Structure 1
């Protein structure tokens, strides 16, 4: 029986560009920025890379993975391009990790990039969204879809909307405060709870500050086996404890059995990830999380879907500060999608980058003071009624 890849793959080095409106940089330049940091961190020469996976969801580069090889000057290295909605970055990491775990290569890498500001990408309706949207809901928007998650959650758990709005505001205030001390973050300005609650409405009950934007940026991970990492002189080695994905089969959109109060794919992927990592109680065994806070309600609901809050208790836990930077299980200690930014192809790798830095004690002013043992990252692509969820858990080799 398959047992997963726990501790078979080590992260040799990581890099991340600054996220934001990078008008001064094209996509290849952002790739180089992240790659050079990762190569320096890994302490290897690019000629030692045996395979690469390229995550890109937009159209800022040409077809296939050739733009990656050209940007990084990787001659005759096999490269593969992947896309899996907002889980694209983690999908790229999964390809590189599985190649190492299988013995197909000794050192592989994953790199995700997006140049969304130039493209004018947004979350509102307009343009071609593909046949799935045409068949199900031609006018669906990201804010509209996740606004229904808020309404469904409130209805199921009997939460008064003002209380839910206050909890969502707390999440946004927290992310902005964390982003201020992250030099690579896109948005670096504090906001108040009143500003979040009173902000212009985007899709009820989601206001402006409940919504993340999109960014330009790139992130890179270089992976190998723990044995090779140690032979290359690495002392503290971060290993992958679990990498899991779950995709909807369409059940949520069929009209019965699901009430919009949770995300089934997150629960399925989390259960598999915890089993792979050997985690029986995530509330005590996880030190840190990076979750897909495309909207503040998504972060709140995800806390229950990951088992970090009891059913119906996430509002109270959020308001009690459980997920604040100095809380029991910090979430988005780097600002999250909301403030670090969301270049779709890079986001999943960026999340692992933060957890990697925290595990090695290299996160600077935002370093978690309590020892970090296991750290989780979570991506959610699509709308609540049709999602792809990816979960990665990393930790120090024991």
Structure 2
């Protein structure tokens, strides 16, 4: 019976480009920016990398359908490079490929890259007739803001939360993310905002206002992984190891049955339960030290707290307003600014989340460093819509935890 990959793989090095409107850089340069930081951190040569994975979701116009752009940009030594895509979970999918290669013994050292350059492509979240559906995220079910607005309505109805209470909780999520992002030199948006600004912002899709929605960015993030034994032989003392990697994909149940009420993410609940079992975590609210979750919209972060079994079902909004997830709270969430403010180059976001958790675990996060020594850090991606999606969970931690 499969027992998972807990502590079989260590992170040797990580890097992340600055996210934002990077008009000055193309995809190759963004990937190189993340790669050079990761390689310097790992302390290895390119000739030591056995295999690589590239995650990119919507940048097909520039990156293309294969791993060749990564191999060429980094001048990799004629190794196998695989391009993967899984909506907003594409970065974590890339990381999963590299980690599994090492865990299986197929590679000693593997590289995972997530990259996307969307600002040059005209990518937008709301419909414009002159562009196609790929760049507008418009399909037969409507826009992304429209779909996630329905999540908010279903959550309110299911748990009897007033519009005002839910709106204030969502606003707190946004204010927190902006405050955290202001401390991060690599973040796309570094402007602090107030509750009044969020509450009075233009409406995008009731009840989601302007500050409840994340934008897209240009960026890249990179991870280099190996076995703990090799990492030690290379001189690494403090090791961050992979505790769990889980993925759950909608199979139609949400849309085709009557069991789902639209107020939560079924796949996240499934992936989280599997990840906790793999990592040996029995009480996530107490045992987790940090969270990086997929805050494409403020309501998504709030609901995800419950789906991760951190907040009691129907009570996540209260934890948010109580400051439980603030930078100085019991369990900080999006301490780097999250998708909302660090930015969301779709293929890069999953590895960017792991990058932040990695820095925090090693005490290298600078001004935003968590004062209490982190032990377990979780990152979560959600690709798709509430009723049809893919959810990925990665838990990393100190080797002896």
Match of 1:316 among 310, 318, 328: 318
Residues 44-78 of structure 1, C-alpha deviations (whole Å, 9 max, x = no match): 01110000000011222233110100000113111
Pairing of 1:157-168 with structure 2 (within 5 A): 157-168=159-170
Deviates more, 1:266-275 or 1:56-65: 56-65
TM-score, normalization: structure 2? 0.97
2:273 corresponds to which residue?
271
Count residues in correspondence: 394
Give, in angstroms, the shift of residue 129 of structure 1.
Answer: 4.0
1:176 corresponds to which residue?
178
Give, in angstroms, the shift of residue 125 of structure 1.
Answer: 3.1
Q: Secondary structure at the match of 2:243?
A: strand
1:100 corresponds to which residue?
102
Q: Secondary structure at the match of 1:345?
A: coil
1:61 corresponds to which residue?
63
Q: Which runs of 5+ in 2 are unaligned?
A: none
Give, in angstroms, the shift of residue 120 of structure 1.
Answer: 1.1
Runs (4+) of structure 1 exceeding 6 A deviation are none
2:47 corresponds to which residue?
47
Q: Secondary structure at the match of 2:348?
A: helix
Give, in whole Å, the separation in 2 of the partners of 1:312 and 1:62.
Answer: 43
2:35 corresponds to which residue?
35
Q: Secondary structure at the match of 2:101?
A: helix
1:242 corresponds to which residue?
244
Residues 343-363 of structure 1, C-alpha deviations (whole Å, 9 max, x = no match): 001000000000000000000
2:6 corresponds to which residue?
6
2:346 corresponds to which residue?
344
Report the aligned-residue RMSD.
Answer: 1.2
Give, in angstroms, the shift of residue 202 of structure 1.
Answer: 0.3
Q: Is the 8 A contact 1:125 1:140 kept in 2?
A: no
Give, in whole Å, the separation in 2 of the partners of 1:203 and 1:255.
Answer: 26
Give, in whole Å, the separation in 2 of the partners of 1:249 and 1:96.
Answer: 26
Match of 1:389 among 381, 388, 391: 391
Q: Which runs of 5+ in 1 are unaligned?
A: none
Residues 254-299 of structure 1, C-alpha deviations (whole Å, 9 max, x = no match): 2522111100000000000000000000011100000000000000
Q: Secondary structure at the match of 1:331?
A: coil
1:186 corresponds to which residue?
188
Match of 1:366 among 368, 373, 394: 368
Q: Is the 8 A contact 1:125 1:139 kept in 2?
A: no
Match of 2:263 among 255, 261, 264: 261
TM-score, normalization: structure 1? 0.97
Give, in whole Å, the separation in 2 of the partners of 1:128 and 1:63.
Answer: 19
Q: Secondary structure at the match of 2:241?
A: strand
Give, in whole Å, the separation in 2 of the partners of 1:64 and 1:351.
Answer: 24
1:121 corresponds to which residue?
123
Residues 103-161 of structure 1, C-alpha deviations (whole Å, 9 max, x = no match): 0010001001000000111112355448xx99xx6251110010011000000000001
Give, in whole Å, the separation in 2 of the partners of 1:66 and 1:301.
Answer: 38
Q: Secondary structure at the match of 1:326?
A: coil
2:112 corresponds to which residue?
110
